Amino acid sequence: EVQVVESGGGLVQPGGSLRLSCAASGFTFSSCWMHWVRQAPGKGLVWVSRINYDGSSTTYADSVKGRFTISRDNAKNTLYLQMNSLRAEDTAVYYCVRGTVRGGATTMFDYWGQGTLVTVSS
Amino acid sequence: QSALTQPASVSGSPGQSITISCTGTSSDVGGYKYVSWYQQHPGKAPKLLIYEVSNRPSGDSNRFSGSKSGNTASLTISGLQAEDEADYYCSSYSNSATYVFGTGTKVTVL
């Protein structure tokens, strides 16, 4: 059974840092592109970042570029999101998502974790 | 990276069909066949419904169908059921190897 399980969320002050982790199982992690998607309370889904199979290519939403870093450890089947210079507007549930790739792009987000809540507040 | 535009809410009676639109630009919806749709019940993670405009994951209900014309994609739910009451989101690949979601549509079964 495919599973992705996020951890690392919590309360952090504005300007602070947090690192999210996502443990993957039930599929060949090293063959899959992975994404982070977030959802602010009562709001819609927002794509945050993507990493390719081996971590050699990453992309980010403009709203987090320069502050967030996505990475992966294929030996540990784990995805990470390092979040620095956090702002109140980064408050959201963060989902770890597997992407299926065709033609060099993710064409579907097919497996989602249950999410981990990040709250940025003083 | 502006969100794709969806109607805030759509409603229908049991057994009816409803359609949710998803409008983008030539840089996302209109430029690629990589539109997907997701269903999200309250407090739950989103679930994939449709991928690559009109394909359904194997084993999923055929009451959900997708299409696209120009810069607008659509999701149709046929034979509306009480369990279909949820939020629905479209998504598309966009230029510069980024992705964008729609604003979301709340479906109410009357």
B5 falls in which pLDDT band (50, 70, 90)?
very high
Secondary structure of A28-76 as H, E, C letters: CHHHCEEEEEEECCCCCEEEEEEECCCCCCEEECCCCCCCEEEEEECCC
pLDDT at B61 over 90: no
| Averaged pLDDT for residues B18-23 | 98
Q: A52: distance to nearest CA of chain B, Å?
A: 11
pLDDT at A117 over 80: yes
Check residue B100 and give its pLDDT: 96
pLDDT at B1 over 80: no
B97 falls in which pLDDT band (50, 70, 90)?
confident
Burial B43-75 (b: 16+ CB within 10 A, else e): eebbbbbbbbbbebeeeeeeebbbebeebbbbb
Q: A93: distance to nearest CA of chain B, Å?
A: 10
Q: Tell me if chain B has a CB within 8 Å of the CB of A110.
A: yes
Residue pLDDT, tens place only, A77-87? 999 999 999 99
Do A106 and B34 count as a contact with CB atoms less than 8 A apart? yes
Burial of residue A82 (CB within 10 Å: 0-12, 13-18, 19+) is middle
Contact A97, A111 (CB under 8 A): yes
Query: d(Cα A107, Cα B33) in Å, to the nearest integer?
Result: 8
Please report residues of A whose CB lies closer than 8 A to that of B1: 61-63
Check residue B27 and give its pLDDT: 93
pLDDT at A99 over 80: yes
Mutate to test the interface with A, among B99, B100, B101 (most CBs of A within 10 A): B99
Q: Tell me if chain B has a CB within 8 Å of the CB of A38.
A: no
pLDDT at A74 over 80: yes
Check residue B60 and give its pLDDT: 81
Locate A31 and state its tokens. 């063959």
End-to-end CA distance of chain B: 35
A116 falls in which pLDDT band (50, 70, 90)?
very high
| Averaged pLDDT for residues A36-55 | 97
